[in-house]
Amino acid sequence: MKELLRNLKPFTKIVLIAGLCLALFGFVVKKAGVYFFWESSWIGNAILLIGLGSLLIDWKNVRKSKSQKTIWNKIGIGIIIFILTVRTIIAIILPRTEAYEIAKTYVESNSEIIEEIGQVENISFIPTGGIQVTTDSNGKYGSATVCFILKGTKKHRAVTILVNKYPDTDWLVEQIF
């Protein structure tokens, strides 16, 4: 273990520390009710994953120099690349969907949300969630879960919205958490 720590590249150390700090910061500000940079936990988690991937690469190189097996390192690196790819695709595709627009319009005009957090001034720039759409002989249907960080005039709030589409209908907000 000492050898691994000694052989870590500066990039790995910096990225791991930065990711951990951002993730921790995001957790603390949410729990403390401080309404500043709530997205830091999402960003920190992504940077932390990059740091873990870099750590596995450094560890693989140490093991390879000792002629030890590196298959588990390679599997871990593959899993991290897969997770980062999926998160990136979701962050790019989700905001371009009709379900996202319906959910966004709903939270911006929902009287209960406005009463709780004030007028919605901003919605997180990194939405998360998932969407599934199917087309068959009955038509097009599906469901989506969209997670936002809403920034209101009074406070912030994380919300999750369940949106469904039934054949021959538009997307409908079914539930909000």
What are the pLDDT digits (tens) for 2-29? 777 777 899 999 999 999 999 999 889 8
Task: State yes or no: pLDDT of 154 exceeds 80.
Answer: yes
Query: Within a 10 A sphere around the Cβ of 50, how many other Cβ atoms?
Result: 19
Task: State yes or no: pLDDT of 65 exceeds 80.
Answer: yes
Task: Name the percent of the chain lying above pLDDT 70.
Answer: 99
For residues 5 and 46, give the distance between their C-alpha atoms in angstroms, rounded to a whole number. Answer: 22
What are the pLDDT digits (tens) for 115-130? 999 999 888 877 788 9
In our burial notation (b when 16+ CB lie closer than 10 A, e otherwise), range 64-86 reads eeeeeebeebeebbeebeeeeee
For residues 56 and 7, give the distance between their C-alpha atoms in angstroms, rounded to a whole number. Answer: 12
Residue 67 has phi, psi (to 5 degrees) of 60, 35
To the nearest 10°, report the CA torsion of 16, 19, 24, 25. 140
pLDDT given at position 38 = 73
Closest to 4 (Cα-Cα) out of 64, 74, 53, 62: 62
Q: What average pLDDT does the chain have?
A: 90
pLDDT band at 41 (very low <50, low <70, confident <90, very high): confident
pLDDT given at position 96 = 92
Q: What is the mean pLDDT of residues 48-72?
A: 93
For residues 134 and 129, give the distance between their C-alpha atoms in angstroms, rounded to a whole number. Answer: 17
pLDDT band at 91 (very low <50, low <70, confident <90, very high): confident
pLDDT given at position 10 = 92
For residues 173 and 127, give the distance between their C-alpha atoms in angstroms, rounded to a whole number. Answer: 16
pLDDT given at position 24 = 92
